[in-house]
Chain A
Amino acid sequence: MAAPCVSCGAAASYRLFLAGRVSFAREQGLWKAAAAGLQTGTRCQILRLKHSPAVTTKKNVAALRRESYTVDFIKKQIEEFNIGKRHLANMMGEDPETFTQEDIDRAITYLFPSGLFEKRARPIMKHPEEIFPKQRAIQWGEDGRPFHFLFYTGKQSYYSLMHEAYGKVLHVEERQDQLRAKGLFSEKPKTKDPIGSRWLIKEELEEMLVEKLSDQDYAQFIRLLERLSALPCDAAEEEFVGRFRRTVTVQSKKHLIEPLQYDEQGMAFSTGRGKRKTANAEAVVHGHGSGKIEINGVDYLLYFPVTQDREQLMFPFHFLDRLGKHDVTCTVSGGGRSSQAGAIRLAVARALCSFITEDEVEWMRQEQTEA
């Protein structure tokens, strides 16, 4: 398999771009991936073919800013990527048909182990859509007349999106009025998932629209979307709004919450571990206590004469309003005074998780990351 390897080697080396370099080319180009309604129109688009090789010399750095990729170029890249994927699957001994992106990543990290700390600087092999930034095709025809009716606003896709959203709002309100006139209107409170998803951030929106936005534009857009989502919508509008939300991974789900354990007298208790810098702590929290805390057999007042450390210990209880209700016995080792306090605090918080509901756990985690 020497010959195919060589060819795929060439293809693979061609594919393996340093992603950081590519991010320079973000300016107006000649080709846009999701050009809404621009597939019609004249095809004679004047192309400036500046095809960048894998290695750039210093002279070309200035030219990198005006780099542009043609449609054909991107198509070729996609073909080459697919071929390279099949070759890679062959090399790794896997089935080329069912070779997913994760398999590709694993294969690349195996074949090209890199000791670089910056993850984005390591070799990657991804679909060209993800590597090459989206660019816009020329927006006007041969006679100089622009395709989109909002071209002269400067931010045509943004304004068209705003128009669309507002149109939907009006539509929903009209429907509501109709229902009310008919008397079939029913007040349905909107229940949205408070924690699972978030709005797009400004960078993501810019990337989606391939346009520069200002902060006020972004804020306006989000307000409009929130207004739309506050009204009772049906499936189409939900889907429209859903395009602009991203799910937030609920991190606390990864953290297994142990159920309460019961000891001889029937009192509930739970254990938790915590680490901070080099200090390790393990805490046993008993329910129905009186607020005593004992560390390595010594009362916490003697162990932490500094008020700051004791405030750290107080924080989990204070947050859940359970200041005098639990007894804690814990052991701690390593680190210094302040890191031991932090480690105990983490262990206590984890142990307390068993005593409270899941929502509160998530709320606690979010508040802690914010605070």
Chain B
Amino acid sequence: IMLKGMTRLVSRVHKAKHGEQHVGQHYNISIQELKTVFPHGLPPRFVMQVKTFNEACLMVRKPALELLHYLKNTNFAHPAVRYVLYGEKGTGKTLSLCHIIHFCAKQDWLILHIPDAHLWVKNCRDLLQSTYNKQRFDQPLEASVWLKNFKTANERFLSQIKVQDKYVWNKRESTEKGSPLAEVVEQGIMRVRNATDAVGIVLKELKRQSSLGIFRLLVAVDGVNALWGRTTLKREDKSLIAPEELALIYNLRKMVKNDWQGGAIVLTVSQTGSLFKPRKAYLPQELLGKEGFDTLDPFIPILVSNYNPKEFEACIQYYLENSWLQHEKAHTEEGKKELLFLSNRNPGLLERLCAYL
């Protein structure tokens, strides 16, 4: 039974039309779209798979569908609703997030996607004292990388949105009120020292202006538990830095507060990159900590679990069609049962297992 043969029909269907009956089927994203919508943010193993198969296929699954349903029915006059995707390791939270981002991109939302907030709290090379606020720290590298990707993702909006304040960068450069956001972004990319401040400005402006209703804003953060956890960064005198002393984190926290309208906030909590959290923790409360939980409360939690049997079958069929499983027993029933048992229907594990086959 070649399920995939039917899914090719689905791929041409606009994702807005994804409904209950499409659960378990794959849909295609063309490679060009991939470059514009996801300059960053796909999990690395998935990127490798895309490169191997020469096409990107995401599976339609229930949590993502649920979220899409909510998003379609949001009332943009109300404050932004927060959705938190949580689940055990390898169940597909990041890919569900990417599904949603793609959907919103198709619907012409402005995507504010932070691929992994954990990257901002650990392994940072250079910390500068912030120019804007003396007590905070800047991370020029991460900020500039993110600005570049943001620019690629949202080109068309950057010229439309106008800045509402005047910002002075240094003695010679400044941005006037009313100039397009693209200038701010350019400034951040060129002057790496000011990149963090540029990020802060972008976030502030977007938040302010999305309430006006010109565009819809989607804030998507992966690994949001990094915002309230601990960091591994130290000052020169080897004392630990708290997250709020990092400018990027501080601005991001303001972003995920639901005091603005006209969009939605979708977050995932993940243990994989988190610091100082036990391996088995996957509930939002454990991973966010008390402070984070209080800040994010109220939110709508969405559990992402392992594949159900239909999805598992579909995944195996997909691999078989792309000739990914070369073992002769992979086609048989017992082979499938073995894979089922060994991975217990966990998508990440199944993918790793099949890599050997």
Cβ–Cβ contact B88 & A323, under 8 A: no
A291 close to B (CB within 8 Å): yes
Assuming the A-B contacts A301-B349, A323-B334, are A310 and B341 also in contact, with contact meaning beta carbons closer than 8 angstroms in the complex? yes
Cβ–Cβ contact B338 & A318, under 8 A: yes
Determine which of A298, A301, A317, A318 lies in contact with B346 in the assembled complex, contact meaning CB atoms within 8 Å. A301
- Chain B residue nearest in CB terms to A311: B342
Residues of A within 8 A of B338 (CB): 314, 318, 323
Q: Complex formed: what's the CA distance from A323 to B333 in Å?
A: 11
Least Cβ distance of B92 to chain A in Å? 14
Cβ–Cβ contact A310 & B342, under 8 A: yes
The total of chain B residues at the interface (CB under 8 A) is: 13
Q: Complex formed: what's the CA distance from A302 to B337 in Å?
A: 19
Residues of A within 8 A of B13 (CB): none
> Quick one: CB contact mask for B247-281 with A, threshold 8 Å, 1 for yes?
00000000000000000000000000000000010
- Chain B residue nearest in CB terms to A310: B342
Cβ–Cβ contact A324 & B340, under 8 A: yes
Least Cβ distance of A303 to chain B in Å? 9
Least Cβ distance of A330 to chain B in Å? 15
Cβ–Cβ contact B340 & A314, under 8 A: no
Cβ–Cβ contact A302 & B341, under 8 A: no
B152 close to A (CB within 8 Å): no
Main DSSP-derived SS at the A contact region: helix
Cβ–Cβ contact A302 & B340, under 8 A: no
Least Cβ distance of B336 to chain A in Å? 9
A307 close to B (CB within 8 Å): yes
B344 close to A (CB within 8 Å): yes
> Quick one: CB contact mask for A226-266 with B, threshold 8 Å, 1 for yes?
00000000000000000000000000000000000000000
Q: Complex formed: what's the CA distance from A127 to B289 in Å?
A: 80
Cβ–Cβ contact B341 & A324, under 8 A: yes
Q: Complex formed: what's the CA distance from A300 to B341 in Å?
A: 10
CB-CB contacts below 8 Å: B316-357 with A:
334, 337-338, 340-344, 346, 349, 353
> Quick one: CB contact mask for A305-336 with B, threshold 8 Å, 1 for yes?
00100110010011001011000000000000
Residues of A within 8 A of B344 (CB): 299-301
Residues of B within 8 A of A310 (CB): 341-342
Q: Complex formed: what's the CA distance from A310 to B338 in Å?
A: 11
Residues of A within 8 A of B349 (CB): 301, 307
CB-CB contacts below 8 Å: B178-197 with A:
none
| Given A314-B338, A318-B338, A323-B337, 9 more pairs with CB closer than 8 A | A291-B341, A301-B343, A302-B88, A302-B280, A318-B334, A318-B341, A323-B338, A323-B340, A324-B341
Chain A residues engaging chain B, CB cutoff 8 angstroms = 291, 298-302, 307, 310-311, 314, 317-318, 321, 323-324
**A-B pairs, 3 with minimum CB distance:** A323-B337, A301-B344, A314-B341
Instruction: Give 11 A-B contacts (CB < 8 Å), ordered by A residue.
Output: A291-B341, A299-B344, A301-B343, A301-B346, A302-B88, A311-B342, A317-B341, A318-B334, A318-B341, A323-B341, A324-B340
